[in-house]
Each structure stands twice: as structure tokens, then as C-alpha cells.
């Protein structure tokens, strides 16, 4: 029987990063993965493949605007979706292979199979061929992630009525893709196929898309995507999704009680994700699971069994790969007797459309609800020399600061390179910077990052220079 100091169940970003940190801290470490490849949802059917398709489709879209830059492309330009999907898979394989390399480099033992608890210190690994073995471990970290959610009346056939997993490997560009859910995943995949020539309609129950982010970001992204041709049906409750042959019919009720009907050839159900604990047998280890299927944890991510921890999508909080990574490192260091911490308010959120959307800290809606006096400063990308030079003028940066202390409370941005720019805001807020602090930092010219400085100036006595 194999014995370890720490065993991690699940090899997604939270799990494999936690395993590496455990190994760095001198623990004999094992990781259990039910699938044949490492990396979990993010690397295999989530973050990485979707970004690969977003990048490929963005290149195709950019071709349509080459003439604006004095570049004339002669001949027919065609989309080869099969090659695009193959490239996506090559990126996935390379990235997953990189995780395997890191496991070997750090002497982490990898077990392929389904991990299920036998007790608080033993885990059974059931392999694909039906055989099994028992692992003994002093500490265990649950990192089993999440799966796409569904509505109870929708029958997923994974052919025409699909989840994000199937949307990453379609064999044709849809004629009309109906997306149920206007969150991050649906909007990103919607833009992929919109660029490739599909008609895309988004049906969202809430009154706006990306409803968890600042309302100003939602408004701007909606405006830009409408300009690109995407159609939105917000404040619509889906009533039914039916397939007949290659046709899919979606019926939804609007705010007035009227039923609208959308006819498409594919329906992408993108209504969030649910924690995945199937087959874990958590009760055998004395681990409590909430009514929502989440593993119950304390502030140290410790479960009701003192030697068992849980991280990532399977616990409370945002379902983000980088949040899971931070939690994985924190738990490893807690087991080692250190005193790490995570400020969940400073975990950024990103939508990888173009323009990109990114945010950290409090939204205006949250500050108003909490009765916090604040001031806001915004700066549009169209006023940036770099944005005009590149032709990426959609969007803005908005900084929210405490009305009395000037401490930055939230930064919200939409525009080119915002997924990378948000790190500056996180850094500033980690060190409790004021809007004035940011406004006095030199930013290279011409860059997109200048928008952050200008927004900070706008929040500091309305001192923006270029508007």
C-alpha cells in the first residue's frame, strides 16, 4: 500500500499547482486524476482550448480589416474549422504534457483513476480497467473541480443541444447558434463562432450579460458585440429547448410574459457550472457537503475532517482557475505550518472576448449597496494614441476610490489587452494604493496602460489630461 504525506484528488490548476507546492515544501506527494490527461477542465475543455479558438478566430476577423492598414489580401480567404480545432487540440496536448513534465520534475506520483474515500486517511483509486488500489495519506486535498450545469427540462444530446465541452470541437460552423446564458463562457464561445460566420443569439435570464461584473462593463460589451452582429434577449426565461432533425427550437418568455421562438441548428447551454463530487464518497471520510454540492470548508479551507482540505470550484467563491491555484498554494503552506492568506476581494475576473473585459475589487453596485462613499474616474480608449494607432478604440478604464481616503476600491476595464492590464490594478490594490498613487506613476507612452493612469487622474480631482 502506497503511503504519502499529501494526496490531491484532481489535477486541474488548483490540484496540480498544490501538488507542486507540496513537493517544494518537502512532502511526499501524490495526485489522482480520473482522465488520461492532466490539467482538469481548464487545460482540456475550458480556459486553454477556448483561448486557442478565440485567438484563431480573432486572426480571421482581423483579416477583414487589413485594408484599413494598407494591406491588400488577394484571393479567397477561407475558414478551415477542422484545422482550427486540430490546432486547438495541439495546444491542449502540449499544455497538458507540460503538467506531466512538472509532476515528474517534482517527483510527484500520478495515479490515473477515480479517487474515492475509504476513510479520512485512505483513498481508493479505481482505474479504467476496473482494477483498484488503496492509497494511505496523512493529508488529502479535494480538487475535483466542476462540470457544466443544465436546466432540468433541457435534454442535452451533446450533438445539437450542447455544453461548452462540445462547442470546443464542432465539425461545422453553425448557421445559427442559440446560446442559453450570457455569462463569460457563453459570450466567449459565441464570439468565436460569430467571427467565423455564424448568426449568434444569446438568451439571458438576468437583465444584462456578464451580470456578476460592473454594470458599465456589461453595457459597453453589449454595445460592442451588437455592433459585431450578436443578438441579445435579456430578461428572458427559457421555457423549452427541442430538437427535430438538425433544427433546434428555443422558446423563452420575456418580461412582458410574451413567448419568443428562436430557430437554430445548435443550442449551447451555458448556465454556469456545478461543483463535481460524483463518486468521491465524501461521507466515508466525514466530509460535509452543502445542499448546493459544495464541500464545506472553514477559512483555512479545512473540511469537517481536520486532515482533509478542499480548493477551487468545489468550494465556495468564484469558479476561476487562478483562484484555485492560490488556494492550492495556501493549503500546502498551511499543512507545512506556515500562515499564508488570500484576499478574495483581489482575485481578478476576466472575459476573453475582444475587447477584453477585466475587473478587480468592488463594483459600483456593491459600493452603493454597502453605503460606501466613493468617487469614480473613467478614461476612454479612443483617447489613447496607442489605441488609435492599432485601431482598438472600444472601451474604457474606470477606477473607484474611497471618497475620504482615496484608496482604490475597484478597477473595471474593457478594451484591448485588459486581461493583462488588470494585473497592475491588483498590484496597486494589494499595497493599498490610492488613486493619486497610481496617477503619479510613470506609464510608458504610447501604451494601453496609460488609460489606467488617466482614469486615476480622473478620480483625483478630475485631472485627466487627454480628455
CA distances from 227 to 95, 178, 222, 397, 417 (A): 34, 18, 9, 20, 20
Contact (Cβ atoms closer than 8 angstroms) between residue 96 and residue 37: yes
Question: C-alpha grid cell for residue 395?
Answer: 472601451
Q: Which of 59, 69, 445, 466 is catalytic?
A: 445
* 466 is annotated as an active-site residue: no
Contact (Cβ atoms closer than 8 angstroms) between residue 248 and residue 162: no
% helix / strand / coil in the chain, to the nearest 5?
35, 25, 40
The distance of Cα 346 from the centroid of its chain, to the nearest Å, equals: 15
Taking residue 115's Cβ as centre, other Cβ atoms within 10 Å add up to: 25
Taking residue 220's Cβ as centre, other Cβ atoms within 10 Å add up to: 22
Spatial distance between the Cα atoms of 174 and 196, rounded to a whole number of angstroms: 9
Q: What are phi and psi of 7, to 5 degrees?
A: -125, 130
Count of CA atoms in the C-beta half-sphere (13 A) of 393:
7
CA distances from 346 to 266, 319, 356 (A): 37, 14, 19
Q: Is the peptide bond before 355 cis (omega within 30 degrees of 0)?
A: yes
DSSP string, 298-320: -TT-B-SSTTEEE-GGGSSS---
The H-or-E segment that residue 63 falls in is helix 47-63
DSSP string, 197-264: T-EEEEE-SSSSSSTTS-HHHHHHHHHHHHHHT-EEE-S-EEEEEEEETTEEEEEEE-TTS-EEEEEE
Q: What are phi and psi of 166, to 5 degrees?
A: -75, -30
The H-or-E segment that residue 411 falls in is strand 408-415
Supply the residues annotated as catalytic.
445
Amino acid at each position: 500500500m502506497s503511503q504519502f504525506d499529501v494526496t490531491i484528488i484532481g489535477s486541474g490548476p488548483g490540484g496540480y499547482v498544490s501538488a507542486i507546492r507540496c513537493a517544494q515544501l518537502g512532502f511526499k506527494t501524490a495526485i489522482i486524476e480520473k482522465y488520461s490527461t492532466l490539467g482538469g477542465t481548464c487545460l482540456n475543455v475550458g480556459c486553454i482550448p477556448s483561448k486557442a479558438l478565440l485567438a484563431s478566430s480573432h486572426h480571421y476577423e482581423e483579416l477583414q480589416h487589413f485594408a484599413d492598414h494598407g494591406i491588400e489580401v488577394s484571393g479567397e480567404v477561407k475558414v478551415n474549422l477542422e484545422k482550427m480545432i486540430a490546432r486547438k487540440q495541439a495546444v491542449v496536448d502540449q499544455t497538458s504534457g507540460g503538467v506531466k513534465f512538472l509532476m515528474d520534475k517534482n517527483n510527484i506520483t500520478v495515479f490515473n483513476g477515480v479517487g474515492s474515500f475509504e476513510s479520512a486517511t485512505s483513498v481508493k483509486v479505481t482505474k479504467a480497467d476496473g482494477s483498484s488500489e488503496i492509497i494511505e495519506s496523512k493529508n488529502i486535498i479535494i480538487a475535483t473541480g466542476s462540470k457544466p450545469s443544465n436546466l432540468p427540462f433541457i435534454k442535452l444530446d451533446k450533438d445539437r443541444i450542447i455544453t461548452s465541452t462540445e462547442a470546443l470541437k464542432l465539425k461545422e460552423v453553425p448557421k445559427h447558434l442559440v446560446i442559453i446564458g450570457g455569462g463569460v463562457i457563453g459570450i466567449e464561445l459565441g464570439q468565436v463562432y460569430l467571427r467565423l460566420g455564424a448568426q449568434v443569439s444569446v438568451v439571458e435570464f438576468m437583465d444584462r450579460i456578464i451580470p456578476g461584473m460592473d454594470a458599465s462593463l456589461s453595457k459597453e460589451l453589449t454595445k460592442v458585440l451588437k455592433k459585431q452582429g450578436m443578438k441579445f434577449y435579456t430578461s428572458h426565461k427559457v421555457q423549452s429547448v427541442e430538437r427535430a432533425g438538425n433544427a433546434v427550437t428555443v422558446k423563452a418568455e420575456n418580461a412582458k410574459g410574451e413567448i419568443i421562438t428562436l430557430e437554430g441548428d445548435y443550442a449551447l447551454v451555458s448556465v454556469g457550472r456545478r461543483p463535481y463530487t460524483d463518486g468521491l464518497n465524501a461521507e466515508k471520510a466525514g466530509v460535509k457537503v452543502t445542499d448546493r454540492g459544495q464541500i464545506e470548508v472553514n477559512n483555512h479551507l479545512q473540511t469537517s475532517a481536520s486532515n482533509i482540505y478542499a480548493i477551487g470550484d468545489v468550494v465556495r467563491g468564484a469558479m476561476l482557475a487562478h483562484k484555485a491555484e492560490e488556494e492550492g498554494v495556501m493549503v500546502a503552506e498551511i499543512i507545512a505550518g506556515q500562515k499564508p492568506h488570500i484576499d478574495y476581494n483581489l482575485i481578478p475576473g476576466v472575459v476573453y472576448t475582444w475587447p477584453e473585459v477585466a475587473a478587480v475589487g468592488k463594483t459600483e453596485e456593491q459600493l452603493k449597496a454597502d453605503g460606501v462613499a466613493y468617487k469614480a474616474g473613467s478614461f476612454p480608449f479612443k483617447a489613447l494614441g496607442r489605441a488609435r494607432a492599432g485601431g482598438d478604440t472600444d472601451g474604457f478604464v474606470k477606477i473607484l476610490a474611497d471618497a475620504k481616503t482615496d484608496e482604490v476600491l475597484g478597477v473595471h476595464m474593457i478594451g484591448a489587452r485588459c486581461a493583462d492590464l488588470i494585473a497592475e490594478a491588483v498590484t496597486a490594490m494589494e499595497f493599498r494604493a490610492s488613486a493619486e498613487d497610481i496617477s503619479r506613476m510613470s506609464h510608458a507612452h504610447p501604451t494601453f496602460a496609460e488609460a489606467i493612469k488617466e482614469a486615476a487622474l480622473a478620480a483625483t480631482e478630475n485631472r485627466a489630461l487627454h480628455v
